Structure 1
Amino acid sequence: MKATMQLPFFRITFSIAFLCLSGISQAAQSADPLSTLPADPQQTTQPQWVKAVPPYPLTLFSKAEVDLNSVKQGDNGQITAWERDTYEELQQPSTDYAFQIGEAHYLIDCNDGKYTSLAVNTRRANGDLVRSVPMPESVQKYVADVPPDSLISAEVTLACAQAQKNWPIDQHYDLHIKPKHVATITPLTLQEKEKIGQAIAQRKETDKRNAPVAEPLLTAQNGKNVCHTMNGVDGNPSSYELCDAQAMFSHDVYSVRTGGIIFLRGIDDDTTKGIDGVFYGSPIRLQCEPVNQLADGVTNKTIEGAIQADRMSSKKISFDDEVRFAILTNVVEIGRHCTLSNTEGVMAKLDVVSP
């Protein structure tokens, strides 16, 4: 039966990992016109997309692929690799955008048969990038067992085999997947369902109270460098402009300028903690704190399904942690609060919203 539920894109990669329950990997070179498009825009080598073929028919996807040329060595014998899934149907996680191609950047431990996701991309069917976002730090640290005989195991098998080929004298890349875990799915109790409803309501209330953005706004635009005058502490326009380039909310370049001259620049990940510089001999700092909200369309059923999917893994956590994790992976970044400060305090501020 073809899957019809539309999941928020933060959840898609992890949900599929536990929902696909049988399979092996076979390699087949992709002939898709998008085969020359790497998932990572910084990748300089030509991608080599190879199909991951489990022994059961895919229903949600028309195909899944791994870019063998994206396989890189990491620390402690780990590797990273990009995979790409092409959906049978258009996915629309919010009213703002839709996509048909999902890409995930995996961190893989072949020796221990574990993996996690570092970042996800969403694209239109023609390959145009819709969004590119890093996974939250807590999700990146959530290293799960690779389910045997699964779509994820098919993808991981390809990546680890390529690592063995690239670095044959390194023993870290002999893939070991743990014996199949037979999951017994226990239906959620009425009390657990009530807790989920309360957690969602609390999250939505928190999102409202946080007053995500305030005008005037810098509205980012995909692929463009957009600037807007920052407000001074008195609420009047200041002499500083804040600029955002790329606008995919992943490695966007933020800069501050005055009189057309840039004196502070850094990517969004760095601005989260703050980037420092010097302005006329005095220390200065730009900090842009993320504004996150529960994704549109997330319901009790969404969270219940995510929890049930996680319970099919061998990792056991408390119910409260299951709920927190499920909600966290359905949270999206909608903007940033940016402040420009010196040693005397805040000089200017401006909120940024996603396109």
Structure 2
Amino acid sequence: MKATMQLPIFRITFSIAFLWLSGISHAAQSADPLSTLPADSQQTTQPQWVKAVPPYSLEPLFSKAEVDLNSVKQGDNGQITAWERDTYEKIQQPSTDYAFQIGEAHYLIDCNDGKYTALAVNTRRTNGDLVKSVPMPEFAQKNLTDVPPDSLISAEVTLACAQAKKNWPGDRYYDLHIKPKHVATSTPLTSQEKEKIDQAIVQRKESDKRNTPFVAPLLTAQNGRNVCHTMNGADGNPSPYELCDAQGMFSHDVYSVRVGGIPFIQGIDDTTTKGIDGVFHDTPIRLQCEPVNQLADGVTNKTIEGAIQVDRMSSKKISFDDELKFAIATNVIEIGRHCTLSNTDGVMAKLDVVSP
């Protein structure tokens, strides 16, 4: 499953550059007990977390920021990817459901053009337990923005690009070219734009009311666990099929259907959104789990106005409609999924999955 929060984590990540000015980073190997924990659960190499140390104090927001040099990988068109980690001074609580103190962002970086974006964001508790793993929306992943000079992000990008140049010295892509400092300006919102924001929030909430009802019984996902529940048949009575959700981290959860404890179809949440196909007793079957999203609790017109103002202080040049679309999308959370199991004759079983 996927989620964004009332105080969206990736919105924080993107805003840091405009809130905290910094200088050139210096490498210092982390001595943190979490130094052996990679941000990416699929990473097989030992992480090498190195501090990005700007010439100013990160307080009162962060106690430190780090880049995993061993997470630096080559991408397409001379771009690279890398994970960074920020440790907050205080516990962050974006909603009543959970709190965290560690934020991680998976950056896509174009060193040659001095641009970056975030592909995904993790949040963790102080002990390193993963709370949520949230991919950025596709349109946001493709929207690379200029690396702000003399910023915390520029310090992190400097480390990542230097490591890429060290790893692949024969390639010409990894000299970092950051554009001159952009003078941050904020154009006040017009009355028409504020009215559009109000309308967008009302429409979103009305849409949420129509689209979010769940039908009992429910499968409640649990962080780090594989939980199962009997699916209802097409007639509403219990079926022989069980639906299972593994991980419960709201990103790359593994959904499976089993009979008698034996799974016969499974896939991650991204693939079940469109549906995954299989065969059961020589009959084609399909499992589809469509996400149910809603605007996060506490989001107001002021929340959206603030997000748009942050975007306007960047060097991005996008229309107001795109700014509004992005601001709304980054304040939407996934609260569950409607799962159906079908064969060529139609729906065999169904079950709704809800967040913990």
TM-score per shorter chain, which class? over 0.9
The SS at the match of 1:28 is: coil
Change (3 A) 1:193 1:56: farther
Unaligned runs of 5+ in 2: 1-5
The 3-state SS of whatever aligns with 1:87 is: strand
Q: Indicate the SS of the match to 2:11.
A: helix
* 8 A Cα contact 1:66 1:81, kept in partner: yes
Equivalent residue, structure 1, for 2:204? 203
User: What residue identity is the alignment partner of 1:47?
Assistant: P
Tell me the SS of whatever aligns to 1:172. Answer: coil
Match of 1:139 in 2: 140
Q: Summarize deviations over 1:329-355 as a string: whole Å, max 9, x none.
A: 111211111111111221111111122
TM-score by length of structure 2 reads 0.94
1:73-128 per-position Cα deviation (integer Å, ceiling 9, x unaligned): 11111111110011112111111011111111111111111111111111111211
Q: Which runs of 4+ in 1 moved over 4 A?
A: none
Specify the alignment match of 1:172 in structure 2: 173
Question: Could you tell me how far 1:217 is from its partner in structure 2?
Answer: 0.7
Task: Name the residue aligned to 2:318.
Answer: 317
The reply on whether 1:288 has 2:297 as its aligned counterpart is no
> How many Å apart are 1:27 and its aligned residue?
1.3
Aligned to 2:3: none
Mapped partners of 1:331, 1:19: distance in 2: 23
1:121 alignment partner in structure 2:
122
| Cα distance in 1 for residues equivalent to 2:204 and 2:152 | 32
Matches for 1:37-52 after TM superposition, within 5 Å: 37-52=37-52
TM-score (structure 1 length as normaliser): 0.95
2:14 corresponds to which residue?
A: 14
Amino acid paired to 1:17: A
Q: Which amino acid aligns with 2:168?
A: W
The superposition leaves residues 197-226 of structure 1 with CA deviations (integer Å, 9 ceiling, x where unpaired) of 222222122111112422111101111110
Aligned to 1:244: 245
Counterpart CA distance in 2 for 1:9 and 1:101 is: 10
How many angstroms apart in 1 are the aligned matches of 2:200 and 2:113? 34
Aligned partner of residue 149 in structure 1, secondary structure = coil
1:193 Cα deviation from its structure 2 partner: 2.4
The DSSP-based 3-state class of the residue aligned with 1:169 is: coil
Partner of 1:54: 54
Alpha carbons of structure 1 residues 196 and 299: separation in structure 2 relative to 1, 3 Å:
same
Q: How many percent of aligned residue pairs carry the same amino acid?
A: 87
Shift, 1:55, TM fit: 2.4
Q: Displacement of 1:20 after TM fit?
A: 3.1
Does the aligned pair in 2 maintain the 1:8–1:298 contact within 8 Å?
Answer: no
Q: What amino acid sits opposite 2:52 in the alignment?
A: A
Structure 1: unaligned runs, 5 residues or longer: 1-5
CA contact (8 A) 2:121 2:136 kept: yes
Letter in 2 for 1:274: G
